[in-house]
Amino acid sequence: MAEVLAVLEGAGHSAHVVGGTVRDHLLGRPVHDFDIATSARPEEVMALFDHTIATGVRHGTVTVVLGGLTVEVTTYRLESGYSDGRRPDCVWFTDDLVADLARRDFTVNAMAMDLRGRLIDPFGGRADLLARRLRAVGDPRQRLGEDALRILRGVRLAAELGFAIEPGTLAGMTEQAARLLGISRERIGQELARLLQADWWHVLPWFAAGPWLEVLPSPWPRLRHGLARLAARADEASAWRALCPDGAEARVCVSAVTWMVAADEPPDTAGPLARAVAWPNRRGRRVRDLADVVRLIPTLHGAAAWRRFLFRRDPDDVRTGAALCDWFSPGKAPNTVSWAETAHRWLRTQPLWHLTDLAFDGQDALRLGVRGPDVGKLLQALADAVLQGEVANEHLALCELARRWVQGKHSRG
Ligand code: ATP
Ligand code: MG
């Protein structure tokens, strides 16, 4: 990234690392995107580097690919109007770095650093960084109103960074909440997913009390009282964190299920929740499956019930779901076996996970003269017998049972 700065400076332009890149660098967090702002115009940037991509030239952004690194280089600019909540309606290029910093959302995102490491910090971002505080640049009500996405960015950044929100900024976020109605569901969905994969327990006390969930697309507002319940259990957050699996996507799903269960929402709410914010179907299904596990586990009694339940499930979902069941039903008598232990026992001894694991397949069925839809029926009947514990998942035993099934079918006509 230094090389990009050096090339721009060498050509007589002003150039700085800006925004989240400076913030994360000062915090010692991994920097995951590289943003440079410069006085050079997009066509000048494109002329200076061999490999560039015209990412958003109208808005001043050129992607420079250098030494395997991708750097977004954006011309210093002013902007106005975010009527689609995503891109400004109008931008003007400027030579004024401070004007460019002034249009940014939070003070910790409104710092710049030059090639020599000199910090340009006109809005007190460094002090806020040290105080671990998110503060809007300028008048919070105006800044959060002109682009309501900043409200959700504020919630998400506070959760990711473990920062508090400065009271005036929080008041602005609250007052402007209704403007979230104008933000596209895709952008809302992205910020919500990032919130759910971060440590949202940290923001829960004020997030649960605020109006933001109410103005999100339906059915998200229904989760509000669930969040209030969770906020009341903040002291159990570390137990919840311990059950949360690794991986960003898994955390999104477990968090969403936790919010749903706390709000007494059935598993079928997962699909509408996901669609409302344009989440991929795959995520909606995973949330529903996990919510289903949490709902069903406490209803299971005995071996046959557990085996049928585990058939076609994801073992990781079952482990996480059982841990969630324990977390949601505290105060069980001592000496009671936890759902996690119970699930562990059945997971270890499950005889069959999928129809394809059956020691008897379609070819075997054909050899016994079974045809058409009967093949599926036979396989299912054999699987049921294995799951009931009536027969072991062994080829010869299953062939024998299949023969009897065929005879029975014939005698039934
Ligand atoms: P992250 O990269 O972790 O999502 P970020 O703050 O870097 O966080 P980016 O989307 O990479 O977010 O944006 C880079 C910078 O652009 C921000 O740090 C901020 O200065 C500015 N910015 C982004 N979105 C907005 C917005 N909606 N309003 C004002 N400034 C914004
Ligand atoms: Mg960034």
Q: Is 85 in the pocket of ligand 1 (CB under 6 A)?
A: no
User: How many residues does the structure list for the chain?
Assistant: 413
Closest ligand 1 atom number to CA of residue 147: 27
SS3 for 368?
coil
User: Which of 133, 140, 108 is CA-nearest to residue 122?
Assistant: 108
Question: How many CB atoms within 10 Å of residue 15?
Answer: 25
Residue 151 CA to ligand 1 center (angstroms) comes to 12
**Measured distance CA(263)–CA(228) in Å, rounded:** 9
Give pLDDT tens digits along the chain (413 positions).
Answer: 899 999 999 999 999 999 999 999 999 999 989 999 999 999 999 999 999 999 998 899 999 999 889 999 999 999 876 665 556 778 899 999 999 999 999 999 999 999 999 999 999 999 999 999 999 999 999 999 989 999 999 999 999 999 999 999 999 999 999 999 999 999 999 999 999 999 999 999 999 999 999 999 999 999 999 999 999 999 999 999 999 999 999 999 999 999 999 999 999 999 999 999 999 999 999 999 999 999 999 999 999 999 999 999 999 999 999 999 999 986 565 567 899 999 999 999 999 999 999 999 999 999 999 999 999 999 999 999 999 999 999 999 999 999 999 999 888 76
Q: Is 19 in the pocket of ligand 1 (CB under 6 A)?
A: yes
Closest ligand 1 atom number to CA of residue 32: 2
Residue 285 CA to ligand 1 center (angstroms) comes to 30
Residue 394 CA to ligand 2 center (angstroms) comes to 56
pTM for the structure as a whole = 0.92
Whether 40 and 11 have beta carbons less than 8 Å apart is answered as yes
Q: Is 321 in the pocket of ligand 1 (CB under 6 A)?
A: no
| % residues pLDDT > 70 (the chain) | 97
**Measured distance CA(264)–CA(277) in Å, rounded:** 20
Q: Is 187 in the pocket of ligand 1 (CB under 6 A)?
A: no
**Measured distance CA(79)–CA(103) in Å, rounded:** 7
64: β partners: 52, 71
The CA-atom distances, in angstroms, between 225 and each of 199, 221, 380, 402 are: 19, 9, 42, 53
Bond before 219 cis per omega within 30 degrees? yes
Tell how strand 34-38 and strand 15-18 pair up: antiparallel
Residue 97 CA to ligand 2 center (angstroms) comes to 18
SS3 for 206?
helix
| pLDDT (0 to 100) of residue 88 | 72
Q: Which residue, judged by its Cα, is nearest atom 1 of ligand 1?
A: 20
